[in-house]
Amino acid sequence: MSYGHQGLKDKGEVSRIEEVSSLRRDNFKVTVSLNKERPMSKSPLYDRYDIQRYDLHPNFSFSHLEDMIPKGTPYYIDSGNHYVERIVRALYYFKQCSLIGPSGTGKTHIVYLVAELCGLPVWEVNCGLQTSSYDLIGRFIGLGKENWVDGLLTQWLRKGGIMYLDEANMMKQDVATRLNPVLDTRGHLVLNEKDNEVIERHQYGYLILSMNPYSAEFAGTKPLNAAMRRRMAVWINFDYTSVGERISPHEVEMLRKRAKVTEDTAYKVIQAGAELRRQYKAGDLPYGPSLGDLINWATLIHDGNTANVAAEETIIALTSDNTEVQADVRRVVESVFNKPQGT
């Protein structure tokens, strides 16, 4: 089945569309096909990533799903890990990949960025213990076949784009099993719930799983089903760009620009965040702050609050409700911002 306008790409910069005009001559209708060039709607960040060789939907337009294509996604700092390029490459060759890493490392951010750069709609499911096969596959909402409603997975199979399964290792086993024929060489789903309709996977249907590492700390997580794991050709590990003594100047600069604070303040915020991330990875804290969390903290500093007061409303309260854990975070903040000059 074909959806939307079929466009021809010219070096990734323009699409050619056909405009049909009618000329009448002696009661005779002549149809002329005229080619016109129209600039592609392309993210301003497109040329900052080496992905031009990977066209994820040649000769096909997702203009009919334009509202589902992300817009204005911020630049992703990866300190040389080339996450964007690796994800796009994995989708180009294998149509699916997995992202694994702690919370706050930007997995969801980068999925939206890849979707915007490649002009792909996003079908997002935040998986959990309550996610059922009905949510993904579909259900009847009344009597009669006409009252069947497709779930998100079924809609994605029909229409294409990126199916993003966040927290995939929290899915129940029966739900994960339904994905197996979609992800292997069969590439289809059988609607057993309806009338055994076989739905072929859209030729430009891509799937991304993301998850936190399996541990007791992430309630509800479990080892990913072995059958599904074998079907994911590429696994990309995410980590923080600044952690412990390693401070990313790119992260400092982005925070400075986004929060409009001084370079010294930006460095100290990232430094404190890097130490909190180190303690989180060591198992001493329940959460490591993302760059967005640190930007929120710095924004309140820019508004006139001291670093300590701003931290109380952001990263201290964010990390935990436990007063002892909050005291640990508070000590990190004070050790960075209350350090005597010259030390």
- Pairing of the two strands 138-140 and 148-150: antiparallel
Could you report the per-residue pLDDT of 200-244, keeping only the tens digit for each?
999 999 999 999 876 545 555 667 778 888 889 899 999 888 999
Which residue type occupies 212?
N
Q: Which residues of the chain are under the pLDDT cut of 70?
A: 1-41, 144-145, 214-222, 340-343
The residues with which 166 forms a beta bridge, in sequence order, are 126, 210
Residue 230 is encoded by which pair of tokens? 């074998």
What pLDDT shows up at residue 87? 97
Q: For position 9, what pLDDT does the model report?
A: 36
Helices and strands, number each (H, E), in the chain: 13, 12
At 2 the pLDDT is 33
Query: So what's the pLDDT on residue 256?
Result: 96
At residue 214, the pLDDT reads 63
Residue 62 phi, psi dihedral angles, 5° rounding: -100, 30
Is the distance from CB of 137 to CB of 193 less than 8 angstroms? yes
8 Å CB contact between 252 and 266: yes
State the pLDDT at residue 15: 33
Q: What integer best gives the mean pLDDT of the chain? A: 83
Of 134, 115, 131, nearest to 206 by C-alpha is 115
pTM, rounded to two decimals: 0.77
Closest CA to 270 of 283, 286, 285, 257: 257
Q: Which of 285, 307, 286 is nearest to 296 (CA)?
A: 307
**Contact present, 147 and 141 (Cβ < 8 Å):** yes
- Comparing CA positions, the residue from 106, 129, 116 lying closest to residue 162 is 116
Residue 296: strand, helix, or coil: helix
